[in-house]
Amino acid sequence: MKKLTLKDIASHFGVSISTVSKSLKDSSEISREVKVKIQEYAKEHHYKPNRVALNLLNKTTKAIGVIVPNILNYFFTQVFYGIEQSANARGYTIISCISDESYKKELQTVELLGSGIVDGIILSLSEETQARDNTEHLQNLIENHVPMVLFDRVTEKISCDKIVVDDFEAGYNTTKHLLKTGCNKIAIISTIYNSSVGKLRVEGYKKALRESGFNYDGKNVVEVGKNEDLQLLISLLLDNREIDAIIALDEMTAVDTLNILKLKGITVPDEISIVGFTNGRLSKYVSPALTMVSQHGKYIGELAANILVDRIEYEGEMPFTTKLVKTTLIERDSTKKDQ
Amino acid sequence: MKKLTLKDIASHFGVSISTVSKSLKDSSEISREVKVKIQEYAKEHHYKPNRVALNLLNKTTKAIGVIVPNILNYFFTQVFYGIEQSANARGYTIISCISDESYKKELQTVELLGSGIVDGIILSLSEETQARDNTEHLQNLIENHVPMVLFDRVTEKISCDKIVVDDFEAGYNTTKHLLKTGCNKIAIISTIYNSSVGKLRVEGYKKALRESGFNYDGKNVVEVGKNEDLQLLISLLLDNREIDAIIALDEMTAVDTLNILKLKGITVPDEISIVGFTNGRLSKYVSPALTMVSQHGKYIGELAANILVDRIEYEGEMPFTTKLVKTTLIERDSTKKDQ
DNA sequence: GTGAAAGCGCTAACAG
DNA sequence: CTGTTAGCGCTTTCAC
């Protein structure tokens, strides 16, 4: 026994398919008697209209595709959660895919989702895509008129709706804050030096230093590759120069850095302050609890879903927008108090 | 300009749709000349076959639906990650939904996914579904012959493939381990007392106590509701009885418990040992690092996806299986060493 | 070599 | 009131 179709029901009662269809829609065209028996039969046999057929007919799927680089990163799971909530509230399902920071997987996924199974796409570029700066697959999507919103890791080469964290300002504000607490030998530890996000934060940091009359020293920006030893790099950093604050560009690294400093017998924040990016679950549980920059992931997700659905449902022209979401510094105990 | 279809290409060249279809499949029926020009045109215009149409035709979508109660829980995100990896490797896409621990949302999602848009479903019951013990929606799915695999939070009422963590043994082993390290006044803090998982762990705990000749005391099992104050409950527990070990049934609670004990000036593990469930990212970063029970989330996800795909693709009978996945105790510094 | 026709499951306009 | 028809986009026989 396979899935029940209208045809099956029709032949069971010896009526036409459209009679069944109308009956199930409780159309006034159909006699009470027939409707009732068909409805009962359908209910009894758990008839469900085939959504794939409806999708084909309606040329809409009420689904949106989400592609994030990495679900194990708390920022993205928060965004994902926000998207899910908002999309659902507006009657859309989510098809979610993970690019795993790989260009190839992102490409494949985009091609798949672009082939009609979703009404629109929300995406954050994979690391590799940003490094290679190859965005043809996204251009194709645009040309095929698939609505898309890019968030967090975006590219200028594509015109579409975007939501970006104000990473420049975040870098600037974070640095400013550290300066105000009396730190001025500030280092950055970046695991995302290939991404727009990472670069912008560093730019903001430079600007803040410059404004306060300090020189930017490239050696103070430590780039940590995937398989590199953070502990070694930090030791190198601290051996060669005096440092009184460290900005870690992701949560994991912030926590790792804290532990490494503790291991070295350096007190936080008295000797070195730490600020990390992404206010996830780790940072408030370590001791001292870490001061973090929150990017409001859930909010970004909600925004992305709403903008996308607006575009999907709105007939006619709508200019593309880029929303800049401000970050918030959550002060805890790994930085000194502003005096 | 809308999406390009075979029809569009056909009328552009004044040929029939089937000629175009065959050309794009490089069929030997079609003349070299025609094929080439059609293929080129298609490539140039980024023609993509409409997947929805193909799905309808093939009666298969190469997609699997995943419903997890809560993506913010690290165990589930690990499972999700495992599913995504394995499913992808086998050529399937994931449609993921979050039930948010709500029966209603789970029901809606199941109905949606059961209507033909996926070839099979992987699901872990929402808390509310388990509490109400209402699984009719799943029974419908089975009757409609939608392949399904249940994991972690399962129900006996449904016959299908299942993957369960050996929570009974986990509770048993954890307790045994604590007993061996000299603790015998062991409390449990449970935020999941409504779920099968939570109950099994407590049963295992009872058995271990019994075997070692200790009485089970219901007052030592603290049930923490959603809005209840953990700190208060722990104070109450410790004021009323002597406790030398605490088993927390989720990671968050384990970390919270540790912090509360520290606040109270109780040293861990000397005065009280702590073991937590779900080996996530928090536990190894707090100090002392927490001894945790790992449920191997990613592995469970991979297993679930593989079993489901096997069932989807295998024609003919296949008995339902229930896989029991063993947990592993990851010893860190919140428990005393086995002497 | 190329095209017409049927059909996947469904809806809607139009006949009867 | 009920049925026929066309069509969503595609593939696949089967004619020509």
Residue A68 · residue B94 · CB < 8 Å: no
Calculate the dihedral angle through the C-alpha atoms of B258, B260, B265, B269, rounding to the nearest 10 degrees. Answer: -20
What's the rounded Cα separation, in Å, for the pair B121 and B130? 18
Three-state DSSP class for B189?
strand
Tell which of B2, B45, B51 to mutate to test the A interface (max A CBs under 10 Å).
B51
CA of B69, closest CA in chain A: separation in Å? Answer: 12
DSSP annotation string for B268-297: TTTT-EEEEES--SSTTTSSSPPEEEE--H
User: Which residues on adjacent β-strands are paired with residue B273?
Assistant: B245
Chain B: closest CA distance from residue A337 (Å):
22
Q: What is the mean pLDDT of residues B202-214?
A: 97
Contact criterion met (CB below 8 Å) for B99 and B67: yes
Contacts of B255 in chain A (CB under 8 A): 285
Q: Worst-scoring range by mean pLDDT, A330-334, B139-143, B187-191? A: B139-143
For chain A, give the mean pLDDT.
93
Residues 6+ apart with CB under 8 A from A99: A67, A68, A69, A70, A105, A106, A109, A126, A129
A19-33 residue pLDDT tens: 999 999 998 888 888
In this complex, the residue with its CA at the shortest distance from the C1' of nucleotide C12 is A18
Contacts A–B by Cβ distance under 8 A: 124
Q: Contact at 8 Å (CB) between A116 and B52?
A: yes
Q: With CB atoms and an 8 Å threshold, state whether B72 touches A72.
A: no
pLDDT digits (tens, 9 = 90+) for A91-112: 999 988 889 999 999 999 999 8
CA of A88 to C1' of D9 (A): 28
The strand order across the sheet containing B221-223 reads B221-223, B186-190, B245-248, B273-277, B291-294, B328-330
Question: Integer distance in angstroms from CA A40 to C1' C15?
Answer: 29
Residue A72 is predicted with a pLDDT of: 80
Which nucleotide, over all strands, has the C1' atom closest to the CA of B30? C1
Cβ distance of A115 and B50 shorter than 8 Å: yes
User: Among residues of chain B, what percentage have pLDDT more than 70?
Assistant: 99
Nearest-by-Cβ selection for B93 from A4, A61, A112: A112
Is B144 in contact with A259 (Cβ distance < 8 A)?
A: no
pLDDT at position B69 is 93
Three-state DSSP state, B219:
helix
Residue A1 pLDDT > 60: no
Q: What is the residue-wise DSSP string for B290-301?
A: PEEEE--HHHHH
User: For residue A151, which amino acid is it?
Assistant: F
pLDDT attached to residue B71: 85
Check whether residue A318 has its CB closer than 7 Å to nucleic acid strand D.
no
| Nearest neighbour of A80 by CB, restricted to B71, B145, B281 | B71
As a whole number of angstroms, the distance between CA B153 and CA B163 comes to: 9
Q: Which domains does chain A have, with CATH numbers?
A: 6-49 (no CATH), 61-165+297-325 (3.40.50.2300), 167-295 (3.40.50.2300)
Residue with tokens 């950093």: A237
Confidence check: pLDDT of A73 > 90: no
Mean pLDDT confidence for B174-183: 97
What is the C-alpha separation between B166 and B169, in angstroms, rounded? 5
Task: Give the pairing type, strands B245-248 and B186-190.
Answer: parallel
CB contact under 8 A, A52 and B61: yes
Long-range contacts of A207-216 (CB under 8 A, 24+ apart): A207/A168, A207/A171, A207/A172, A208/A171, A208/A172, A208/A173, A208/A175, A208/A176, A208/A179, A209/A175, A209/A179, A212/A176, A212/A179, A212/A184, A214/A179, A214/A184
Nucleotide nearest the Cα atom of A25 (by C1'): C11
Please list the residues that pair with B63 across neighbouring strands. B93
Is pLDDT larger for residue B188 or for residue B316? B188
pLDDT tens, position by position, B63-97: 999 999 988 888 999 999 999 999 999 999 998 88
d(CA A83, CA A120): 13
Residues 51-70 of A with CB under 7 A from strand D: 53, 56-57, 59
* Cβ within 8 Å, pair B46-A93: no
Residue A93 in 3-state DSSP? Answer: strand
> How far is Cα B55 from Cα B263, in angstroms, rounded to an integer?
59
Judge whether residue B1 has pLDDT over 60. Answer: no
pLDDT classification of B339: cutoffs 50, 70, 90: low
Distance of residue B61 Cα from the nearest chain A Cα, in angstroms: 9
- Count Cα atoms within 13 angstroms, Cβ side, for A129: 28
Q: Of the spans A101-105, A171-175, B32-36, which averages the highest pLDDT?
A: A171-175
Answer whether residue B125 shows pLDDT above 70. yes
CA distances to A311, A320, B10 from A317, in Å: 9, 9, 30
Closest chain A residue to B259, measured at CA: A285
Angle at the Cα of B200 from the Cα atoms of B195 and B204, rounded to 5 degrees: 155
Confidence of residue A339 (pLDDT cuts 50, 70, 90): low
The C-alpha atoms of residue A262 and residue A128 are separated, in whole angstroms, by 34
Q: Are B92 and B64 in contact (CB under 8 A)?
A: yes
Q: Are B304 and B68 in contact (CB under 8 A)?
A: no
Burial B16-47 (b: 16+ CB within 10 A, else e): eeebbbbbbeeeeebeeeebeebeebbeeebb
Å from the A10 CA to the C16 C1': 20
- Residue B28 CA to C5 C1' — how many Å? 21
Query: Which percentage of chain A shows pLDDT scores above 70?
Result: 99
φ/ψ (deg, to 5) at A98: -115, 130
- pLDDT reported for residue B20: 95
Chain segment A237-280, per-residue pLDDT in tens:
999 999 999 999 999 999 999 999 999 999 999 999 999 999 98
Distance in angstroms: CA A206, C1' C9: 61
**Distance of residue A101 Cα from the nearest chain B Cα, in angstroms:** 13
Distance CA A100, CA A70 (A): 5
Instruction: Please classify residue A69 by burial: count the beta carbons closer than 10 Å to its beta carbon, then call 0-12 exposed, 13-18 middle and 19+ buried.
Output: buried
Q: Which nucleotide is nearest to B22 (CA to C1')?
A: D11
Query: Would you tell me how many other CB atoms lie within 10 Å of the CB of residue B267?
Result: 10
The phi-psi region of residue B185 (left if phi > 0; otherwise alpha if psi is between -120 and 50; otherwise beta) is: beta
Supply the pLDDT for residue B338.
Answer: 79
Across the interface, whether the CB atoms of A2 and B112 are under 8 A apart is answered: no
Strand C footprint at Cβ < 7 Å?
A: A 2-3, 5-7, 17-18, 21, 24-25, 49-50, 53-54, 56-57; B 14-19, 22, 29-31, 33-34, 53, 56-57, 59
Is there a contact between B81 and A96 if contact means CB atoms under 8 Å apart? no
- pLDDT score of A3 more than 70: yes
| Partner-chain residue, chosen from B48, B116, B140, that has the shortest CB–CB distance to A51 | B116
Of A56, A286, A287, the CB nearest to B53: A56
Contact list, B98 vs chain A (CB under 8 Å): 81, 84
Question: Looking at chain A, which residue has its C-alpha nearest residue B146?
Answer: A3
**Continuous H helices in chain B:** 6-13, 17-24, 32-44, 51-58, 74-89, 103-113, 127-132, 136-143, 167-180, 196-211, 230-240, 251-263, 297-313
- pLDDT value, residue A286: 87
pLDDT at A80: 94
How much of chain A exceeds pLDDT 90, in percent? 83
Amino acid B226: pLDDT: 86
- Cα(B289)–Cα(B334) distance, integer angstroms: 6
Smallest CA–C1' distance to D13, residue: B18
Cα A230 versus chain centre, distance: 26
CA of A314 to C1' of D10 (A): 28
Statement: the CB of A17 is under 7 Å from strand D:
yes
Reported as a pLDDT band with limits 50, 70 and 90, residue A338 is confident
Window from A273-277, A281-285, B267-271, B333-337 with minimum mean pLDDT: A281-285
Question: Cβ separation of A95 and B98 shorter than 8 Å?
Answer: no
Cα(B156)–Cα(B49) distance, integer angstroms: 42
**Three-state secondary structure call for residue A295:** coil
What pTM does this model have? 0.88
Q: Do A145 and B56 touch (CB under 8 A)?
A: no
The structure tokens listed for B27 are 């069929």
Distance CA B75, CA A79 (A): 18
Contact across the interface for B2 and A145, Cβ inside 8 Å: yes
Locus of tokens 């001061």 = A291
N- to C-terminal Cα distance for chain B?
Answer: 75
Closest CA relative to residue B35, chosen from B43, B45, B23, B27? B23
- Check residue A255 and give its pLDDT: 93
